[in-house]
Structure 1
Amino acid sequence: MLNFNFTEKTVLITGASRGIGQAVATAFAQASARVAVHYHQHKQAAEQVRESLAGTGHILVQADLANPIAIEQMVHQAIAQLGHIDILVNNAGIYQEHPLNQTNYQDWQAAWQQTIGVNLLGAVNVSYCVARHMIERRSGRIINVTSRGAFRGEPTATAYGASKAGLNAFSQSLALHLAPHNIFVTAVAPGWVETDMTRAVLESPRGKAIHQQSPLNRVASPEEVAHTVLFLACESAEFLTGAIVDVNGASYLRS
């Protein structure tokens, strides 16, 4: 791991109670940052993450990211308890299978509304609330966790692919808008990552084929994604603003 140092920096990480979010929280804490661990429903898991973090001064914040009012309250709470927010990592997301030819119209509508509401609008609204704070301070980093699926498509989870493609486009637009305020915005687009949510699929008969999508014959670890996030949060990486960084083991290449 690179020798990152985020002493006196504060980080708000959405969806930090498990998976990639937990790995990002752990990495920032190890690099001496203070972390706001966001969760929606899994309070006990979030508390365990906070207690496991190196250093002191870490907090828990709760919000349903489909609720704009709850988001505003959550960001205000994080700022009040941490004093300020230097870095925002929009990691929270949901994934729902809804193949068009097997899903009725009502369930189709629900899948799209829920997925876009959390994955795209949730990140958009958290970014708005945090960016207004960062503009006042003329400093900040926003890193959005998107997906390889934004590029290669998600045939049975079309709303997921669209939400992540939208988040990529939002990241680039926001990078242009916030650069004059000394705020830098990037996105990280992982492929398959070994987490609690994906382990069952990776250990199923489909797992071998998923591993073979990469010439490395494996998927990413959450820590590998976290290392990329920390690099993008560094001051030395500010000229990468607007970039979308693929972390997919060459399983999908674009130019």
Structure 2
Amino acid sequence: MHQNPLKALQISPDFDPSSLNQKESSMLNELLAVFYSKKKPEPEFQRISFSLINKRYDFLINKNHIYNFFSNTWTKLFQMQIKDDHNRNIKLNPFIAISENLNEYPNFSKQLICDGFKGLSFASDTANILYTNYLLALLNNYDQSQNKNFLDLALFVLEKVKSHIDKNTFVINSAQIEKRNTGEVSIEKQQELIHITSSSNLCIKFCAFVLLNMPNKANKIWKTLDDQTKQAIVNWPIYNLYGSIRK
């Protein structure tokens, strides 16, 4: 009995093959050739990404074995590690490797990513920076799609790293998640944000004023920032909130 290749690769079958453009058709045919062992992949281990009718897919290929990125199959065979500041190998949640356009992945799974954190250490500053950046990316994904799974996952990640990150960073991210979740920031968090506004770090102060809904003070700081810092902030989810209050 032949295995359905689309089902095996976790590719959504709800598309008409004749509707694929040339690039999509070519990529799918290449993938199926590897799946049926009609073609040897070069290099033998690689990651490929492509879209089919506005749906995104990422795969890891190891010789003639193909693994959909958003599955738990390949994580049983491979690990994602980094070297920390002390030259130690730190195991990471591999699913943080994809953080953009998540709403376009039909098999994106919040539970799968949560499970990817099981058994991991959060003692590495390097790892926690990566996880915090992933959290910020999740908030950007939420702002683009209003998919609450991204907001819930961002809160989950924040809870995992909260004991290992700077307190001001925790307060700001906690407040901006709450702002998106409920439409406002609680009195308790507002008090913490007011305390943060005395920070000498202009980026921290800017974020606090945005979350306190003080556009005039946020604008004043924005005008003092250099172009490089502004460009960095534009890519942060706090800038999306700033856009809703700025005058």
Answer yes or no: same fold by TM over 0.5: no
Q: Normalization by structure 1: what TM-score? A: 0.31
> Max radius of gyration: which structure?
2
Q: Normalization by structure 2: what TM-score? A: 0.32
Greater relative contact order (CA < 8 Å, ≥ 6 in sequence): 1
